[in-house]
Amino acid sequence: MAEALRVAISGAGGRMGHALAALIGEDPSLAMTGGVDRMPEGGAWIAAGGVVLRAPQDAAAVIRDADVVIDFSAPDCLCTLASLPREVWTGTALVVGTTGLGPDEERALEALAEVTPVLRAANFSVGVNLLLDLVERAARVLDGRYDVEIVETHHRRKEDAPSGTALELGSAVAHGRAVPLDAVRLDGRSGRPGTRPAGEIGFHAVRGGDVVGEHRVLFLGERERIELAHAASDRSLFAEGALRAARWLVGRAPGRYGMRDLLGLDG
């Protein structure tokens, strides 16, 4: 039998970490070899999957022992991991699901991609990645006379807003219309923002309860409206997608990859 793919999880103590460990535990072609998370006062912890967790700054051995690290943690944790010496990462691929990344994390990933393959996705569901493609096509046809509003709903513990997926949907609209997103982006409205300028892309983040993730893109025209939407009902959907990405990524050349490469959506 072929050897199991060795997977380490960053953010192993979190919701996505648990969902990943559960799927790995059910699949003999995968082995959880290590985990990274915040250390509790006075010692280590054992994660789901039975491995001892390490703090990100002490994770060199965890990275070396894995074929791939899957990160669903937080930007600072990812940045610490990605900034460990390059030789630590040689031979270990990185799949990133953490959202809300800033320029420091982006720079660290860019540098890391010189030595190892790195795949980042704000959303690992096949349905959302298809939605991105459909939204871009719709935006090419439905010009600035159609007002675009993106509404996303997530559970009350989500820390970043708008969601990474909402921003990618906005980028898909902007790309379809050949404008930079930053020039047309508006997050929420209150007070007297005035009448809506043509071409604006509005983002609205709803937070509450245990909602796994819902995204709706509205194209609001004069006599019609088009809505494209996706709802996830279980986070194992994202874990399954991240594992699919991990299998696909291991053994590829160093560089940056995305779900479009994996799903062949550019073809």
Q: CA dist 11 to 2, 62, 77, Å?
A: 28, 13, 8
Please identify which of the residues 18, 154, 215, 230 carries the catalytic annotation. Answer: 154
What's the half-sphere exposure (Cβ side, CA atoms, 13 Å) at 85?
Answer: 6
Beta carbon nearer to ligand NAD, 9 or 184: 9
Beta carbon nearer to ligand NAD, 114 or 234: 234
Beta carbon nearer to ligand NAD, 77 or 142: 77
Q: Which residue ranges make up the site for ligand NAD (CB under 6 A)?
A: 11, 13-17, 37-38, 56, 72-74, 76-77, 97-100, 121-124, 235, 238
Find the shortest distance in angstroms from Cβ 198 to ligand NAD: 32
Please identify which of the residues 18, 155, 158, 215 carries the catalytic annotation. Answer: 158
Find the shortest distance in angstroms from Cβ 97 to ligand NAD: 3
Beta carbon nearer to ligand NAD, 184 or 239: 239
5's enclosing H/E stretch is strand 5-10
Q: Enter the tokens of residue 3.
A: 């050897």
Find the shortest distance in angstroms from Cβ 74 to ligand NAD: 3
Look up 204 and say whether it is catalytic: no
Residue 231 to residue 146: CA distance in whole angstroms: 23
Find the shortest distance in angstroms from Cβ 112 to ligand NAD: 17
What residues are labeled active site?
A: 154, 158
